Amino acid sequence: MVANPLIISLVFSLAIFLIFVGLTSWLNAPREQADERLERYAKRTGGYTFLPDDYQGDEDAGPLPDWLNKRLEERARRSGLLVELARADLKLTPGEWMAFTVLAVLASILLGWIIFRIWLLALLFGVVGFFIPRFYLRWRQQRRINAFNNHLAAAIAQLANALRAGYSLMQGMDNLAREMPPPISTEFERVVREMALGLTLEQALNNLLERVPSDDLDMMITAINIQAEVGGNLAEILDVLAYTIRERVRIQGEIRVLTAQQMLAGYVLTLLPIFLGLVLFMMNREYMATLYETTCGWIMLGTAAFLIVSGFLAIRKIVQIDV
């Protein structure tokens, strides 16, 4: 049995890509400059530049890896990818994220071809594969923000108690970094680290808000910044803020419970037509071939996709209640 030319070309392209990535990683092993090391932990100006702790610079790398890494990092900074990776707490460089995306596209195209044996549908699967890493990124971001918000009220109350005990604000945040669970501990550890590297309290807290775009955290940072300007009892302010945030989290939890059935219905109604279409296609290809071999069939598929997406977005809009 002769292998399909599309599969051979995909496997060959994947092999060339992996060899290129391996050679790039092997050549890219010099030391970093001091400024680049500091930028890993503390943003001073421009876009956020959070990178993994084990990221190595490319100062002495060959011309091709050096050009590629700098180009990818500049593009990631302009597009906001570095901020997105920091919010999701993904320890990936822009080059590694690009490799992950390319592999997802190639795997999706191969899967589409194995299922349908049609070029156009395989390419459509590749488009879906291009967005799979972004969906995963958004999911990690939302999960991390929810975990942060769930523990923020307890963290603010603990910070207020530390201030009453005579700790400074920086010492109280360091206590949060040691005592609270992630991601609270991780983020406040970064705040303390950035202040130790020379950033002001306002800059470090603004960087924290950039990594964790939470409305509750925004209220806390605003209260701290105002107290630093005009004075006052910060412990009492934090106590009131902790109570407000605790009530918001409680109400949001009740809303999620009351709307869980409607949200589940939205997912079922969205995925059920797609699942049944795939099952029917694998059971009887000739019967389903009318949908992609005629113009009327493509119009039906496009209309169905539009209605499915519109219905899902409408259900999400109905069940999402802001507090």
pTM to 2 decimal places: 0.69
Q: Is 191 exposed, middle or buried (0-12, 13-18, 19+ CB in 10 A)?
A: buried
Show Cβ contacts of residue 43 under 8 Å, excluding neighbours closer than 6 positions: 49, 50, 194, 203, 207, 210
Show Cβ contacts of residue 9 under 8 Å, excluding neighbours closer than 6 positions: none
Q: How is the chain split into domains, by residue range?
A: 5-114, 145-249, 250-323
Task: Please provide the CATH number assigned to the domain covering 145-249.
Answer: 1.20.81.30
pLDDT of 114: 83
Q: Which secondary-structure segment (H or E) carries 106?
A: helix 94-116
- What are the mean pLDDT values of the chain's consecutive 10-residue runs (323 residues total)? 54 60 49 46 49 42 52 72 84 82 89 79 85 91 90 92 90 91 90 90 90 89 88 88 89 87 89 87 81 83 89 87 73
d(CA 155, CA 150): 10
